[in-house]
Amino acid sequence: MRILKTLVGAAALAGLMTTTALAADMTVGFSQIGSESGWRAAETTLTKQQAEERGIDLKFADAQQKQENQIKAIRSFIAQGVDAILLAPVVATGWDQVLEEAKEAEIPVVLLDRTIDAPDDLYLTAVTSDLVHEGNVAGQWLADKVGDEQCNVVELQGTTGSSPAIDRKKGFEQAIADHDNIKIVRSQTGDFTRTKGKEVMESFLKAENGGKDICALYAHNDDMAVGAIQAIKEAGLKPGEDILVVSIDAVPDIFQAMANGEANATVELTPNMAGPAFDALEKYKADGTEPPKWIQTESKLYTQADDPMKVYEEKKNLGY
Ligand code: AHR
């Protein structure tokens, strides 16, 4: 029995060493969207950290929000002969051609945090949350919060054409569909940024009786919510009270706002997409194990009842 245990232990160790050795030899290109939000910056930090810890040589390309830059970066990774490519796709469409080229070159592509409209044989796996579900969780929270009260909602959408903007809108609308008292009265893109979130919220406030006709703000990410909170305060209203605020990401600043009573709820999106992505790539490279086409991350709801300052501190230690 002891001999058997030793042999099993040795085999496991050898497997681990092989995987680690292969990882150490891996060169991975990462085409990142940009740095539009606190969440995005944390994802970049964690991807670099994860690569370093695993001995992966990471080639990083910041696309400055432009799909054409992402396509160029992917072509350059292919030309350099990288072992794999991570792609956080800025928009959902227009990837088929360049992903065909990666497939032709036998370079596996892993999608990070956003989905695309393309045949699924063009990528190895996608590490994302259920983006429709996130919108659903936010909408459900609002429906529970307002009960039968009349509630006019303004919506700050993410980047036009991106999968989170499309799906978070869809999920929220599904959640409020059976609640005739809840209505989206204005909806516009704030491009996932704080500056745009503030700017667009200012126009919503002006158009809706200085904000008096708005019951809630639904923002597709926390950064836009933080910008909008500023606009609400400047309009002389109390965010979190006069206008309820629900958003998505769970970045530290939204917990600070919650602790101040200025935001009400957020749905968490982990910025550590690279961990599961590298795990899948390491196994694939070691023995050809095909990961599932979708590696789903969790979507947890946080409210003011969840000790926001404690979560703020925890988040601050996480790469934000
Ligand atoms: O794709 C994920 C989204 O992109 C995040 O929710 C947002 O903050 C980011 O820019």
- Find out whether the beta carbon of 252 lies less than 6 Å from any atom of ligand 1: no
Q: Which CATH number does the domain 2-127+271-289 belong to among 3.90.1150.10, 1.10.150.20, 3.40.50.2300, 3.20.20.150?
A: 3.40.50.2300
- Is residue 83 helix, strand or coil? coil
Residue among 32, 169, 192 whose CB has most ligand 1 atoms within 8 A, to mutate: 192
The helix (H) or strand (E) run that includes residue 15 is: helix 2-24
Atom of ligand 1 nearest to the CA of 220: 6
* Among protein residues, the one whose CA lies closest to atom 9 of ligand 1: 40
Statement: residue 24 has pLDDT above 70: no
Do the beta carbons of residue 211 and residue 234 sit within 8 Å?
no
- CA of 89 from ligand 1 middle (Å) equals 11
Residue among 35, 36, 39, 254 whose CB has most ligand 1 atoms within 8 A, to mutate: 39
- 208/152 Cα distance (integer angstroms): 10
List beta partners, residue 87.
31, 111
- Find out whether the beta carbon of 285 lies less than 6 Å from any atom of ligand 1: no
Arithmetic mean of pLDDT, 152-181 = 98
Statement: residue 135 has pLDDT above 80: yes
The helix (H) or strand (E) run that includes residue 31 is: strand 27-32
The whole-number pLDDT of residue 133 equals 98
- Is residue 112 helix, strand or coil? strand
The dihedrals phi and psi of 83, each to the nearest 5 degrees, come to: -85, -25
- 263/227 Cα distance (integer angstroms): 12
Q: Are strands 216-219 and 294-297 parallel, antiparallel or unpaired?
A: unpaired
Atom of ligand 1 nearest to the CA of 113: 1
- 210/236 Cα distance (integer angstroms): 9
The whole-number pLDDT of residue 259 equals 98
Q: Are strands 294-297 and 265-268 parallel, antiparallel or unpaired?
A: unpaired
CA 8 from centre of chain: 39
58 closest CA partner among 30, 35, 24: 30
- Find out whether the beta carbon of 196 lies less than 6 Å from any atom of ligand 1: no
* Among protein residues, the one whose CA lies closest to atom 2 of ligand 1: 113
pTM for the model: 0.93
The whole-number pLDDT of residue 13 equals 47
- CA of 22 from ligand 1 middle (Å) equals 31
DSSP secondary structure letter of residue 190:
-
**Domain 131-269+303-316, CATH homologous superfamily name and number:** Response regulator (3.40.50.2300)
- Find out whether the beta carbon of 38 lies less than 6 Å from any atom of ligand 1: no
Atom of ligand 1 nearest to the CA of 223: 8
CA torsion sign for 234, 240, 241, 242 is positive
Amino acid in position 166: I
The whole-number pLDDT of residue 147 equals 98
Indicate the pLDDT class of residue 23, thresholds 50, 70 and 90.
Answer: low
The whole-number pLDDT of residue 66 equals 98
Q: What is the pLDDT of residues 231-270, one digit of tens each?
A: 999 999 999 999 999 999 999 999 999 999 999 999 999 9
Contacts of 264 (CB under 8 A, 6+ apart): 141, 145, 240, 244, 245, 246, 258, 303, 304
Place of tokens 């909806």: 187
Do the beta carbons of residue 198 and residue 236 sit within 8 Å?
no
The gap between the terminal CA atoms of the chain, to the nearest Å, is 48
Q: What is the pLDDT of residues 200-209, one digit of tens each?
A: 999 999 999 9
Residues of the chain with CATH 3.40.50.2300: 2-127+271-289, 131-269+303-316
